[in-house]
Amino acid sequence: MQAETARDLSDARQRLASAETRAAQTASENAALMARIAVLEGEAAQAKAKADALARELSAASDQLNHLQRIESLAAAAVAGPMAPDDAPDDLTQISGINAALARQLRARGMTSYRDVARLTPERIAKLADSIDTDLADRIAREQWIEQAERLLKRKMGGRD
């Protein structure tokens, strides 16, 4: 019986040693996987930062393209026919979203014609918003002042809408 107990004890010790070896291997594999996860998380963060930068560049390029398209549209309108004298201000209230009071504020800041509105740049919009109303930039985009001004300018110059 003693020999059998000794053999059982020996078998148990071997199973324990084998289990400890497997546990150590598993811990080692786990550590390697955790290190790989940390590397992949770092790479993912770098990829996200690059994607964000590219998105900002794309947005800026899109804004520039829109601005160039507006200029092209104005150039086409200029070729289409003669303009009214430059000193004759346009009725800015014809632009949906501009009432008489706002038209006066815009005129006081040098915005007197459809051409002035059609040529608005993001920088000029920001200056107007700072001096008139902080929501003005959103209104200009939402109410499509620039596009309306371009259509009115084309019509004024004898072009069709």
How confident is the model over 65-107, as pLDDT tens digits? 888 887 877 776 566 544 444 557 899 999 999 999 999 999 9
Domain boundaries, the chain: 1-80, 83-161
Tell me how far CA of residue 68 lies from CA of 71, 83, 99, 120, 146, in angstroms.
5, 21, 28, 12, 13
Residue 95, Ramachandran bin (φ over 0: left; ψ between -120 and 50: alpha; else beta): beta
Mean pLDDT across the chain, nearest whole number?
87
Residue 1 tokens read as 């019986």
Whole-number Å distance between alpha carbons of 160 and 119: 19
Residue 147 tokens read as 């596009």
Q: Please state the rounded mean pLDDT for residues 142-146.
A: 95
Per-residue confidence band for 33, with pLDDT thresholds at 50, 70 and 90:
very high
In the CATH scheme, what is the code of domain 83-161? 1.10.150
Residue 101 tokens read as 């009071």
pTM, entire model: 0.48
What integer pLDDT is reported at residue 100 of this predicted model? 94
pLDDT in tens, 103-137: 999 999 999 999 999 999 999 999 999 999 889 99
Per-residue confidence band for 3, with pLDDT thresholds at 50, 70 and 90:
confident
Q: Please state the rounded mean pLDDT for residues 22-49.
A: 93
What integer pLDDT is reported at residue 74 of this predicted model? 72
Residue 29 CB coordination number (10 Å)? 10
What integer pLDDT is reported at residue 84 of this predicted model? 47
What integer pLDDT is reported at residue 65 of this predicted model? 83
Distance of CA 137 to the CA centre of its chain: 15
